[in-house]
Amino acid sequence: MPTVSFSRELPLRHDVDVFVAGGGPAGIAATLAARAQGASVLVIDGHTCFGGMGTAALVPAFMQFGDGVNFLADGIGRRVFDLMWARNAHGPDDDRERSQWGSLGIRAEALKRIYDDLITESGAAYALGTNLVGVETAGRRIDHVVCWGKSGLFAVRAKVYVDATGDGDLSAWAGASYEQGDADGGLMPGTLCSLWTDIDWAAVRADGRYAQNVIPQAIADGVIEVDDPHLPGMWRLGEHLGGGNIGHTFGVDNTDERSVTEALIYGRRLLGQYERFYKEYLRGYERMELATTGSLLGVRETRRIVGDYQLCLDDFNQRAVFDDEVGRYSYPVDIHATRPSKENFGAFWAEFHALRYQPGESYGIPYRCLLPRDLDNALVAGRCLSADRFLQGSVRVMPGCFITGQAAGVAAALAVEQGSGPRDVAVGALHQRLKALGAWLPNAG
Ligand SMILES: Cc1cc2nc3c(=O)[nH]c(=O)nc-3n(C[C@H](O)[C@H](O)[C@H](O)COP(=O)(O)OP(=O)(O)OC[C@H]3O[C@@H](n4cnc5c(N)ncnc54)[C@H](O)[C@@H]3O)c2cc1C
């Protein structure tokens, strides 16, 4: 492909202690945690709200905040959880006690306001509709980043940079090594999540059938064009409202806008087929109407930045304990099949049920998973942290991202205070600060 060069003088609009790229669960937690240590912070997000997948993409529920005995996402995760209850931002069927160990429905507009309040009250600088578009490095250090908003391009300089983009944009563009997908580069499919009105939930309950068990018939009948028996389902989010995590966009790569464009258009078309399925094959959905689809595609997997340590399946199996752990988590290994078929779904289902814990069990997340191996002044948190595919399939859910984001924020601020890089932060001091924020660290001295 031919190339052109591009060079500009840019305003250095922000010079801060900590720059956070991405305002999803990981970026929010990193911002609040760094601010709580007194660091000056700028957080940007390319979208129109904070929250990432849980708001803009309409993912309808949080997975477990705890392991059935302990509240694992304690600290900032607990603040969000409490606000979900204080502001009635959850689904009408949720139960506060049970939801700590199961799922918690999300009313996306209420959650957007929760995040707005947390960020604006934190004293951080913030900008929505603002994309990270470039990273300038000097050796292993990031010197500054380039952002784009409607005012044009501008630069930001920070002492420490936190990559909470979910896709590892900041780290990868700074030259950090990463892995992506399975051995063939195959990725978990995305889902264009959706909101549906006029569902008769009493009739759904009376019908009692599980959509997952009915969908094979609709596939056999040609109502759904793809042989994809995996149907996470519809969450009850209001009196007549449903949040759909239905349909998969196979083969999408969120690090390529051409692929995302195709997936968005395909996802919207596919939902027409699911609408027919719900209306014709199940009870209670006959009058349902599609209110909207997510304004971001739901993305489960892209880059996994290679850190000083890679969290791995063995750690899950061993319920690993690490000297430098910054939290513990317990969600099962949930790797949606790369390609649709009955057999692949069967393999997914078996793995999802085999790789799960009993109440009270969890694995540790070492601080080293947040340190990109090739960079000296950056941290990574959330979906794109350093893990193998199995553990990415567990720690990627939102409460897991609160845990790693919180740790990244505290570590970034500590590094700034010490005048060192994040790699030189003393684990004891990190534990102390995390505990002061409320983090659950049963193995820290
Ligand atoms: C369909 C689906 C269903 C899921 N179901 C559940 C569930 O039931 N429960 C659960 O807990 N989790 C669920 N997950 C997982 C979870 O939602 C995500 O893994 C989690 O939100 C990741 O958090 P994050 O902060 O790392 O990234 P994200 O939530 O993706 O947030 C990243 C943010 O960074 C911004 N960003 C990205 N790149 C740039 C850039 N270059 N410049 C500026 N901003 C940028 C994005 O706009 C986004 O707001 C689901 C995910 C999907 C896709």
Q: Is the pLDDT of residue 68 over 90?
A: yes
Ranges of H-type helices in 143-256: 169-173, 201-207, 211-220
Q: How far is CA 50 from the centre of its chain?
A: 12
Instruction: Output the pLDDT for position 100.
Output: 86
Measured in residues, the chain has a length of: 445
Ligand 1 in reach of 111 Cβ (< 6 A): no
Q: Is the pLDDT of residue 237 over 90?
A: yes
Ligand 1 in reach of 245 Cβ (< 6 A): yes
Ligand 1 in reach of 122 Cβ (< 6 A): no
Q: How far apart (Å, rounded) are the C-alpha atoms in residues 198 and 63?
A: 25
Ordered by where they begin, the domains of the chain are 12-183+301-437 (3.50.50.60), 194-293 (no CATH)
Q: What are phi and psi of 46, to 5 degrees?
A: -70, -15
Instruction: Output the pLDDT for position 144.
Output: 98
pLDDT in tens, 148-207: 999 999 999 999 999 999 999 999 999 999 999 999 999 999 999 999 999 999 999 999
Which residue is associated with the tokens 């990031």?
A: 142
Mind spelling out the 3-state secondary structure of 193-208?
A: CEEEECCCHHHHHHHC
Cα atoms found within 13 Å of the Cα of residue 216, Cβ hemisphere only: 7
CA of 254 to the centre of ligand 1 (A): 11
- Whether 128 contacts 144, CB under 8 Å: no
Instruction: Output the pLDDT for position 304.
Output: 98
Residue nearest atom 22 in ligand 1 by C-alpha distance:
383
Instruction: Output the pLDDT for position 168.
Output: 98
Residue nearest atom 20 in ligand 1 by C-alpha distance:
398
Of all residues in the chain, the percent with pLDDT exceeding 90 is: 98
Ligand 1 in reach of 397 Cβ (< 6 A): yes
Q: How many helices (H) and strands (E) does the chain have?
A: 13, 17
Q: How far apart (Å, rounded) are the C-alpha atoms in residues 24 and 59?
A: 12
Ligand 1 in reach of 26 Cβ (< 6 A): yes
Q: Is the pLDDT of residue 388 over 90?
A: yes
Ligand 1 in reach of 386 Cβ (< 6 A): no
pLDDT in tens, 311-365: 999 999 999 999 999 999 999 999 999 999 999 999 999 999 999 999 999 999 9
Tokens of 70: 């302990």
Q: Is the pLDDT of residue 445 over 90?
A: no
Instruction: Output the pLDDT for position 424.
Output: 98
pTM of the model: 0.98
Tokens of 178: 């990463």
pLDDT in tens, 4-22: 999 999 999 999 999 999 9
Ligand 1 in reach of 199 Cβ (< 6 A): no
- Whether 119 contacts 31, CB under 8 Å: yes
Closest C-alpha to 286, from 224, 374, 197, 176: 197
What amino acid occupies position 292?
T
Ligand 1 in reach of 300 Cβ (< 6 A): yes
Q: How far apart (Å, rounded) are the C-alpha atoms in residues 320 and 402?
A: 20
Q: How far is CA 174 from the centre of its chain?
A: 21
Which residue is associated with the tokens 């669960």?
A: 25
The C-alpha angle with vertex 379 and arms to 193 and 423, in degrees rounded to 5, equals 155
Q: How far apart (Å, rounded) are the C-alpha atoms in residues 210 and 233?
A: 9
Ligand 1 in reach of 164 Cβ (< 6 A): yes
Ligand 1 in reach of 431 Cβ (< 6 A): no
Q: How far apart (Å, rounded) are the C-alpha atoms in residues 73 and 55?
A: 19
Per-residue pLDDT averaged across 393-397, rounded? 98
Instruction: Output the pLDDT for position 318.
Output: 98
Q: CB neighbours of 240 closer than 8 A, spacing ≥ 6?
A: 197, 198, 199, 200, 201
Residue nearest atom 21 in ligand 1 by C-alpha distance:
53
CA atoms 311, 315, 317, 320: torsion sign = negative
Residue nearest atom 27 in ligand 1 by C-alpha distance:
166
Q: How far apart (Å, rounded) are the C-alpha atoms in residues 170 and 415?
A: 19
Choose which residue among 254, 352, 398 to substitute to test ligand 1 binding: the one with the highest number of ligand atoms within 8 A of its C-beta: 398
CA of 51 to the centre of ligand 1 (A): 8
Ligand 1 in reach of 247 Cβ (< 6 A): no
Ligand 1 atom at minimal distance to the Cα of residue 57: 53
Ligand 1 in reach of 387 Cβ (< 6 A): no
Lowest mean pLDDT among 29-38, 82-91, 98-107, 373-382: 98-107
Ligand 1 in reach of 383 Cβ (< 6 A): yes
Q: Give the burial class of 442: count Cβ atoms within 10 A of its Cβ; 0-12 exposed, 13-18 middle, 19 or more buried.
A: exposed
- Whether 105 contacts 93, CB under 8 Å: yes
Q: What are phi and psi of 184, to 5 degrees?
A: -95, 10
Ligand 1 in reach of 165 Cβ (< 6 A): yes
Ligand 1 atom at minimal distance to the Cα of residue 398: 11
Residue 92 CB coordination number (10 Å): 13
Choose which residue among 59, 163, 256 to substitute to test ligand 1 binding: the one with the highest number of ligand atoms within 8 A of its C-beta: 59
Ligand 1 in reach of 398 Cβ (< 6 A): yes
Instruction: Output the pLDDT for position 426.
Output: 97
User: How does 115-130 read in b/e, with b if 16+ C-beta sit within 10 Å?
Assistant: bbebbeebebbbbbeb
Ligand 1 in reach of 299 Cβ (< 6 A): yes
How confident is the prediction for the chain on average, in pLDDT?
A: 97
CA of 194 to the centre of ligand 1 (A): 15
Q: Give the burial class of 405: count Cβ atoms within 10 A of its Cβ; 0-12 exposed, 13-18 middle, 19 or more buried.
A: buried
Ligand 1 in reach of 393 Cβ (< 6 A): no
